[in-house]
Every structure is written in structure tokens, then in C-alpha cells.
Amino acid sequence: MSRFLVVGLGNPGSEYAHTRHNIGFDVVNSFAQKHNTSFRSDRLADVAEVKWKGKYFICIKPTTYMNLSGKAFKYWLDKEKIALENSLVIVDELALPLSKLRLRGSGSAAGHNGLADIEQALGTDKYPRLRFGIGNNFPKGMQADFVLGKWFPEEKEIVKQKIEKSVEVIENVFVMGLERMMNQVNIMEFKQADGK
């Protein structure tokens, strides 16, 4: 059975639950729920296992806090003997509008502390990541409050659509291959039901 590591980035603790910065946690939670499994506490992360269509997904939500995400990622990658190209990191992205998802096989951390720590821990930036656009709708100097804040009511419908699509990406990226999945996902534009 092929093995894959799915890493949702976020911060542990109820005060961070369902904030923009924790969208990685929300996506892997959704994936686990869809496949009728739940998370347990384990070393450096909460862990859930999904067996689906001959594939074995180990899903982790690091409990190390965002800025030390690499420690948990590397530990579980090594422990489960999973090839780096068989991993997927789900992360919030300020530089993308809320209407977009962006799948990439490599790339810079672009100021994201979680990705920077992963790059440092792995010694490479060549690992697949799904960047979940959160937009940058905040006044100057308020970036931290925005990132650690909850979604605005008018954003929630698009967020829900994108979480559902992200779950499909997890299911299909290792079947279809990264290139084909990128071509499909990166051109998508998510809109509210009223077309906004």
C-alpha cells in the first residue's frame, strides 16, 4: 500500500481554532472526517490515518506551533519512511486572494514561518504544498491580527468551498500526479453563490 504524508499547518490550542492561520488544520480535519477517522495525540503532532483506494495517508497537525512545523514534518516523514514527493503541506497564503488555491511542487517560503522552518528542517524547498489564499484585507500594521483572526462572515462560504476542493486535492494529487492536478487547481476561481 502506497504511503503518503499530509501535513496541515496551524497552531495548537482553542484560541487559534478556525483562524486563517489554522486553515491547514481545518483542511486535514475535513479530510479525516470525510473518511470517518479521527486524530489522536502522538509525538510532536496529532495524527490520523486514512486508508482509501489502496493508499495509506498519515495526516498530521503539528503540536509544535507554526514556527517549528519542520520538526514534526521531518519526524513523521522519517518515522513512516515516506518519500518527500509523497507528502503534501497545506498552508495559509497572504499573497493569494481568497478566491484562489495554488498547488506547487516547490518554491520559496515567501515569509511564511511554518514553510521557512520546514525548508530548514528538510534542507530543501522541493516539497509539494497547497497554498490556501486568505487575501490581505487588513490595514497597514495589522497583518498578525488578520492572520490570527477568524474569517469574516462574508468569507465563510468561499472558505467552505475551498476546504472541500482541498480535500479532493489530497485524495487525487498522488493519483493524477502533481502536474495535472496543478493545471486543474491553479486556474480555479472560487466565488460566492451570488457571484461575488
Active-site residue set? 21
The grid coordinates listed for 136 are 490581505
Q: How far apart are CA 151 and CA 192, in angstroms?
A: 14
Q: How far apart are CA 28 and CA 158, in angstroms?
A: 17
Phi/psi for 22 (5° steps) reads -100, 15
* Best CA proximity match to 188, nearest among 101, 79, 95, 78: 101
Q: How far apart are CA 185 and CA 166, in angstroms?
A: 9
Q: How far apart are CA 163 and CA 18, in angstroms?
A: 12
Element (H, E) at 154: none
* Best CA proximity match to 129, nearest among 23, 7, 47: 7
